[in-house]
With several copies, the nearest count.
Chain A
Amino acid sequence: MKEKEIRAEGNVEYRFTHPDDFREHVRDRKGRNPASKLCSAGEAVETFVRDGDYIVYDFSSLTRGPQALVREVIRQRRKDLWIGAEFTLHESSLLVGAGCASRIDVGFLGYGNYIGRAVCAGRVRVYEWTNGGLALRILAGARGVPFLPSRDLLGSDNMKVSAARTIEDPYTGGPVCVVPALNPDVAFLHVHQADETGNARIFGTNLFALEAALASFRVVVSAEEIIETDEFRKDPMRTTIPFFLVDAVVHAPFGAYPGAMPARYEIDLDHVDRLNSLDTDERMRAYLEENVYSVSDHEEFLDRRVGAKRMRDLRRRATIVEGYR
C-alpha cells in the first residue's frame, strides 16, 4: 500500500493517495471505539506527525488557527513537511524559517516579507492550486473519489504549476478542470469545544474542517474547552466533527494565540506585528528561540511569554459573542 505517494508531472510534484489505500488506512488504523484520545500537544505531535508529512489546517493564523500545535511541530523539529496552505499567514514563515517545511501548496501565501523571500531564494518549493482548488482536492479526499471537477483554474497559469488537468466533460463535451484528491497525512484543527473522544464543535465559519477531518490520515484536534459527550448528543446540529475521524484531542486554552478565537479572545496585534516584521533569518531565529525553543510547552509559553494579564485583556476584548454558541 503506497500511503504517501508523491507523483510528478513535469516539474510539478503532487501528493496523491489512491482512494483504496486511504480507505484501508481508515479501516485498519482509525478507531471507531469512543475511547479517550486526550493527550498533550507534545504527545500528539510526537505520535502523529512525522518527517515528510503533508499537513493542512483550519482556519488562519489570525483566526482560530492551531498555533499551539504548529509551535509544537517546530519545537520537535520536524523536517521536510509539505504544507497545504489555504490561509497561511505566519505558519508558513515560521515552519520554513525553522527548517521544518520544504514544500507549500498555495493557497494564499501571506504575509510579511519572510516567506516571499524564502520562495525567491528557492528555499521552499511552491505549487499553485488556489484556495478553491485546494478546498476541492480535500473535498475529493473526503468523498473517497480520486478527483473532482470544477469550472475555474481553466486558462490560468495555475494549471501549469499544479497537477490540475483539463478533461472533456462527458455530458456537455466541453472542457472542465479536474483536481486530484488530497488526503493529507495530518490535519490540525483548533476548535471551541471537544470531548475526550474527539467529537468537536467549531463556532463560526470554517475552511474545510469536516472535509479535512474525513480526508486526513491523522487528525489532531486542539480545543479551548473539553466538554462531556452528552453535550453533543443534546445538540447534534452544533457538531462539526464526529469522534471517529479524530486521532488525538489536546486541551489547549489559548491554542490559537496570537490569533483570535471568535467569542473567546481577541487577536494580539502587538504580537502579530512582531510576526509581520520578521524579515531576516536573524530575527526569525530570535523569535523562535524566545517563543518556541526556550519554553517547554504551550502552557509554559502562556505563563512566561504571554502572561495572565494579557490573556485577561484579550479575553475582555472579545466582545462579540452573538452566534458563537
Chain B
Amino acid sequence: MPRKVEFTDTEFMIVQGARLIEDGKTLFVGWGIPQVVAMLAQRLYVPNVTQLFEFGAVGPRPVLPFVRGTMGGPQNTYRSLQWLNMNWAFSFSAAGYMDYGMLGAAQVDPYGNINSTCLGGTFEKPERRFAGSGGGNQVASHCWKTIIIMKHEGRRFVPKLDFLTSPGYLDGPGAREKAGLPRGTGPYRVVTSKGLFGFDGESRRMTLLSVLRGIPVREVLDGMAFRPLLADPVGEADPPTEEELRVLREEIDPGRFIIRGERML
C-alpha cells in the first residue's frame, strides 16, 4: 500500500500530463510547463518520444536540470536530431506528422477553445494582456491530439472566452472541419491540478474523466464557471509516485522554478 506523499498542485498536473503521452510518437511542446512535462515523460515513460519545438528543434534531449527562461538555448535544444526553423516546424505539424501538442492556457471553454491573449475590456484595451498565441494556434490547429495543461482555477474555465486564440472544437461538432481546419484534429485532454478532462465524441463538450484520488468531484466542478459532462463513472487519478516526484524534484527542477505551487494531500 502506497504511503501518502506530499506534493504540489503543479507537480500533480505535470505528472498527469507526462502519463498521457504514448511512446514512439511525436510531441509538439509549448513554452513553460509543457517543457517540463515532456522532460518527465521522456525520462520515465516514453524514451522514444520525439519532441518538436516551434523554432525548429527536432527531437531534442533537453539537459537536466531544466534551465528556466531559455527554451531556445543550447540546454533545451541539446542533442536534437535536426535544427531547422519555424516555417519547417509548422510544416511538420501541418502535414500531419505531429501526434500530440501540449499547450498552456489562460482560459478554456466547454469546447476546448483556448484563450491566451487577453482578459476583460476590449481587445484594443483589455484588462489583462498575455503573451498571445505564439505558435499555440498552429499547434492546436494542426496536431492530431492537443493536450491543454493549466491550473484548476475558476476564472480559467469559462462558458465563453474573452478571446479565441487557439481553436478547440469551436462551437461544436463539425465546426473545425467547416472552418477549414485539418480533419480529425482537436483537443484531446485538459490536464489540471485537480483532474483530467476529455471531450465527448458526439457533442465535443468537455467531459470530466477523473479526479485526483481523494478530491470530491464536487470540489472540481465548483472550480469551474461551466458544468462539464461527467464520465460514468468519473475515475480516480493516482497521486504522483515517489519516483515521479524524485525525478521532478531532484533531476528536472531542483531550483523549483516550475514545480512550486499549492501543497496538496
Q: Any chain A CB within 8 A of the CB of B91?
A: yes
Residue of B nearest to A85 (CB): B132
| Stretch binding the partner chain, chosen from A186-194, A236-244, A296-304 | A236-244
Q: Are A27 and B144 in contact (CB under 8 A)?
A: yes
Q: Any chain A CB within 8 A of the CB of B81?
A: yes
Residue of B nearest to A64 (CB): B72
Interface of B is mostly: loop
Report chain B residues within 8 Å CB of A174. Answer: 180
Report chain B residues within 8 Å CB of A324. Answer: 74
Report chain A residues within 8 Å CB of B25. Answer: 32-33
Cα separation A263 to B83 with both chains bound (whole Å): 15
Cα separation A106 to B130 with both chains bound (whole Å): 11
Per the 8 Å Cβ criterion, residues 192-214 of A in contact with B are 199, 204-211, 214
Cα separation A64 to B70 with both chains bound (whole Å): 11
Q: Are B91 and A11 in contact (CB under 8 A)?
A: no
| Stretch binding the partner chain, chosen from A113-121, A278-286, A306-314 | A113-121
Task: Flag B59-83 by CB within 8 Å of A: 1 or 0 each.
Answer: 1010100001111111101111111
Report chain B residues within 8 Å CB of A64. Answer: 72
Partner of A205, one of B31, B85, B135, B142: B85
Q: Are A20 and B182 in contact (CB under 8 A)?
A: yes
Q: Are A108 and B131 in contact (CB under 8 A)?
A: yes
Cα separation A20 to B82 with both chains bound (whole Å): 26
Number of B residues, CB within 8 Å of A? 81
Cα separation A320 to B62 with both chains bound (whole Å): 12
Residue of A nearest to B130 (CB): A116
Interface-central residue, B79, B87, B165, by most chain A CB under 10 Å: B87
Q: Are A267 and B181 in contact (CB under 8 A)?
A: no
Cα separation A234 to B184 with both chains bound (whole Å): 36
Q: Are B55 and A158 in contact (CB under 8 A)?
A: no
Cα separation A214 to B88 with both chains bound (whole Å): 10
Q: Are B94 and A151 in contact (CB under 8 A)?
A: yes
Q: Are A206 and B85 in contact (CB under 8 A)?
A: yes
Known A232-B81, A236-B82; contact A272-B69, beta-carbon cutoff 8 A: yes
Interface-central residue, B77, B97, B144, B167, by most chain A CB under 10 Å: B97
Report chain B residues within 8 Å CB of A26. Answer: 95-97
CB distance from A127 to the nearest CB of B (A): 10
Q: Are B137 and A142 in contact (CB under 8 A)?
A: no
Q: Are A151 and B87 in contact (CB under 8 A)?
A: no
Residue of A nearest to B63 (CB): A320
Report chain B residues within 8 Å CB of A84. Answer: none
Q: Any chain B CB within 8 A of the CB of A68?
A: no
Report chain A residues within 8 Å CB of B91. Answer: 142-144, 214
| Stretch binding the partner chain, chosen from A36-44, A75-83, A132-140 | A132-140
Residue of B nearest to A177 (CB): B180
Report chain A residues within 8 Å CB of B93. Answer: 144
Report chain B residues within 8 Å CB of A204. Answer: 72, 74, 77, 83
| Stretch binding the partner chain, chosen from A46-54, A55-63, A287-295 | A55-63
Report chain A residues within 8 Å CB of B87. Answer: 135-136, 139, 208, 211
Q: Any chain B CB within 8 A of the CB of A157?
A: yes
Known: A109-B129, A157-B117, A206-B85. 15 other contacts (CB 8 A): A23-B96, A26-B95, A32-B26, A132-B137, A152-B90, A176-B180, A208-B86, A214-B97, A233-B80, A233-B81, A236-B79, A236-B80, A239-B82, A260-B74, A267-B69
For this complex, 11 residue pairs linking A to B, each with C-beta atoms less than 8 Å apart, are A11-B124, A25-B96, A64-B72, A120-B121, A130-B137, A132-B138, A136-B90, A214-B95, A234-B79, A242-B81, A323-B83
Q: Shortest 8 CB-CB distances between A and B: which pairs?
A: A23-B96, A33-B24, A144-B94, A175-B180, A155-B179, A26-B96, A108-B134, A152-B141
- Residues of B whose CB lies within 8 Å of any CB of A are 23-26, 31, 48, 50, 53-59, 61, 63, 68-75, 77-88, 90-97, 99, 117-118, 121, 123-138, 141-142, 144, 163-167, 170, 175-176, 179-184
